[in-house]
Structure 1
Amino acid sequence: MNDWQQRFDRRIMRSIGMPLLKLERGDGAHVWDDEGREYLDFLAGIAVNSLGHAHPVFVEAVSRQAATLAHVSNYFTTEPALELAERLVRLSGAGEHGRAWFGNSGAEANEAAFKLARLNNSGGARTRVLALVDAFHGRTMGSLALTGKPHMREAFEPLAGGVEHIPATIEALEAAIDGTVAALIVEPIQGEAGVVELPAGYLEAARELTRRHGALLIVDEIQTGAGRTGAWFGFQHAGIEPDAITVAKGIGGGIPIGGLITFGAASDLYSKGQHGSTFGGNPLATAVANAVLGEIERAELVANAARRGPQVRERIEGLGSPLVAGTRGRGLLIGVALTRPVAGRVVEAALEHGLIVNAANDVTIRLAPPLNIGDAEIELFAERLAASLDDLVRATD
């Protein structure tokens, strides 16, 4: 191990593996490591850096707000927090009764959503929460209870009770839901499962079934929100109105922030003192999120994601690599299906060619580049991915 790897191994908790690189700086869709080598970043902090690295709007917002107020606690409010709540209610279409709560991460947002589900139990009979097999909602104890991945859960059981994981089919939902269900929580695209979309018509059916049985429909938009899929939020492709959505990642463009947005009657479930966060909604994070979302609007980056996603997928499929079985996803959340379980080796080969991508599982590469990528970045991506795949084909033949 080199010096920084030894330092990491000695002092960082072993809950994560050895990092791939030690990065020093970034600019747009590019980053540089501690040896000065450049990489094209087509992961963007796992769908976080919506504007890329060191975008002037982001930098200016951090500098401006840090010079006035960074933290005030939730005994007080500030203009950035009010503005962000209003902005997210507007962008989500939550309407006149929409409300927002702010935390610091996606896991915290889903903890707030889990507690919201528990509050939908005025008669005492709604003790069940439905989530999906292979879902990922976070690693805290409550959000992990919602996560449908046994290998992540087993070491920490028993987890919060009452959660049932069902297959992502309309038939399974119809069989599971009744008057004892408090909520259904779903991701429009299961990113950690390999960028897997819900079946056609699933969200529409889920909305009808949850409404009929008095359950909440909660949509986890942590990875799919902030324009990533070519709409502001993934549920909007289905033309439905959920009861709540959770947000994080791309809304802050790199600063830690998460939130819960409620619609309609769900906005009245929480009462004073039932939830909170010391740092949640702080003026620094909310000011930066306002700047990031404002730039996404100004530069029409939601439309850019819708346009560039198919372009990226066409370039991948046009490479003709025997390792590529196809692509899936929506907008700039893309899964590359592989013909062999070599995703980890693809990531390693890509790094050798100056490209950052992610192995969602053994047979899927996940892409989530900045929303403002253009032709030049896409061509460079295709060139470096082709070289990476060619190297791996030669090595395995």
Structure 2
Amino acid sequence: MNQEFKKYQAQTSPHPLGLEISHAKGSYIYDIENNAHLDFVAGVSATPLGHNHPKVIEAIKTQLNKYMHVMVYGEYVQKPAVELAKLLAENLPEPLEQTYLTNSGTEAIEGALKLAKRATGRSEIISAKNAYHGNTMGSMSVMGYEERKQAFRPLLPNVKFITFNNFEDLTNITTKTAAVILETIQGGAGFIFPQKNYLEAVRKRCNEVDALLILDEIQPGFGRTGKLFGFQHYNCIPDILVTGKALGGGMPIGAFTASKALMVLLQENPKLGHITTFGGHPVIAASALATLKEITETNLIYKTLEKEKLFRKLLVHPLIQEIRGKGLMLALIMENADITNQLILRCKDQCLILFWLLFEPKAVRITPPLTITVQEIEQGCQLILSVLNQIKS
């Protein structure tokens, strides 16, 4: 199967990890030899309730028995999508009240950028250096990492970049700016958090020049940082909120949420301002609804902060320079990229799943399911320390 995987399925890198999957449950992924791999990555933050959570599976099966795709997005009233959008609105501050459901986070970014241009009549977009918002042409245009973009130019014009947490750069936001798009927490850059009320200052500057603020919560959203959304740690409410990953509970989804006054602009001049065939798919919406209910109706969000403390207590080692992040969005920063690579690959051989970040070669991603147990954390951390001791020696 591994040979056929490389022969028939397009690859994203020369050396994929190549783990052949049999099944997955809870915090574990099982290979075809039935080895249990403890998952400290959660599909890159996309399975917040672990694998095959019973409530999510039941919601999917129930919807499957009713109907799957029946009509392109926005024409028919489909209960799972309506209830999901309603529950999102109930858990978001004003004026974030209407949600457009998409197939992925990057598609939601595209929709948010279009909405900002439509609402302001302006074309300039400001993003951050080392930002990552997805890999379609519009999303790549606001990626702040030239090495990943240069082979695909020309991209969208009128995109400018500022440095995250740099207050002097905020003067670049002017009356020509349609929107500022930022990750609430920079993911690919190494889990960089806003400092000294930075997001509040960005919000204030956008208000001064009537530009919109788009916050990308595709990674930190849905409980991972100890609040339902990362921006809730800061005094900053976006005009457009973009989500994805964890919302689907393991199914593909994205969403952008704004006020009704903004969202109505996609209905006319022109009509069908943003369209998609499978966005809001009833089976995926059912999975997302079950996931969001479980996250908001239990103590999982609160528990993430306790689990963060445990990770920080256990992962003390001379080769770990720092632990960045909050809740269960953590990154180990090693002395150099070679140690990072050795740690990830050696842990893989010992059935612990770790992963890289996009732009910070010294970082090791730790973003396990929110449902991970204390015992599983202790087990995984013990293995990490054991591997680091082997590397050090």
Report the TM-score, using the length of structure 1 for normalisation: 0.93
Which residue, 333, 349, 353 being the options, matches 2:350? 353
- In the TM superposition, residue 372 of structure 1 has moved relative to its aligned partner by 1.4
Asked if the contact 1:98–1:263 (Cα under 8 Å) also holds between the matched residues in 2, the reply is yes
> Distance in 2 between the 1:388 and 1:174 partners?
44
Name the structure 1 match of 2:27.
29
Q: Is the 8 A contact 2:127 2:143 kept in 1?
A: yes
Give 1:14's aligned residue: 11
Q: Which runs of 5+ in 1 are unaligned?
A: none
Name 1:324's counterpart in structure 2.
320
Describe the superposition over 1:63-103 as per-residue Cα deviations: whole angstroms up to 9, x where unpaired.
111111111222312111110111111212244x6110011
Residue 111 of structure 2: aligned partner: 112
Per-residue CA deviations over 1:288-335 (Å, capped at 9, x if unaligned) read 100011111222211111221222122113xxx221001011111001
Contact 1:30-1:53 within 8 A present in 2 as well: yes
Equivalent position of 2:361 in the other structure: 362
What's the counterpart of residue 88 of structure 2?
A: 88
Equivalent runs, 1:140-289 vs 2, <5 Å: 140-263=136-259, 265-271=261-267, 272-289=271-288
SS of 2:218's partner is coil
Instruction: Give 1:61's aligned residue.
Output: 59
Native 8 Å contact 1:106 1:246 kept in 2: yes
2:389 aligned residue: 390
Partner Cα distance (1:314, 1:303) in 2: 18
Q: What's the CA shift for 1:59?
A: 1.1
**For the residues of structure 1 that align with 2:140 and 2:349, how far apart are their CA atoms?**
34
**How far did residue 378 of structure 1 move?**
1.2
- Name the CA distance, whole Å, in 1 between partners of 2:148 and 2:20: 26
Query: SS where residue 148 of structure 1 aligns?
Result: coil
Residues 332 and 367 in structure 1, CA contact (< 8 A), matched pair in contact too:
yes
Query: Equivalent residue of 1:269, what SS?
Result: helix
Q: Deviations over 1:236-261 (max 9, x none)?
A: 11032210110100011101111001
- CA contact 1:94–1:264 (8 Å) conserved in 2: no
Ranges in structure 2 where 5+ consecutive residues have no aligned partner: none
User: Any conservation in 2 of the 1:218–1:244 contact (CA below 8 Å)?
Assistant: yes
CA RMSD of aligned residues (A): 1.5
Query: What is the CA-CA distance between 1:265 and the residue it aligns to?
Result: 4.2
Match of 1:280, SS state, is coil
Deviation (angstroms), 1:136: 0.3
Secondary structure at the residue paired with 2:149? Answer: helix
- Which of 4-13 and 240-249 deviates more? 4-13
Moved more, 160-169 or 43-52: 160-169
Q: How much has 1:214 moved relative to structure 2?
A: 0.2
Q: Which residue in 1 is equivalent to 2:79?
A: 79
Post-superposition offset of 1:201 = 0.9
Deviation of the 1:264 alpha carbon: 6.4
Identical columns (%): 34
C-alpha contact (below 8 Å) 1:110/1:143 kept by paired residues? yes
1:139-158 alpha-carbon deviations (Å, 9 max, x no partner): 10111101111111111000
Name the CA shift for 1:19/1:100 in 2 (closer, same or farther; >3 Å): same
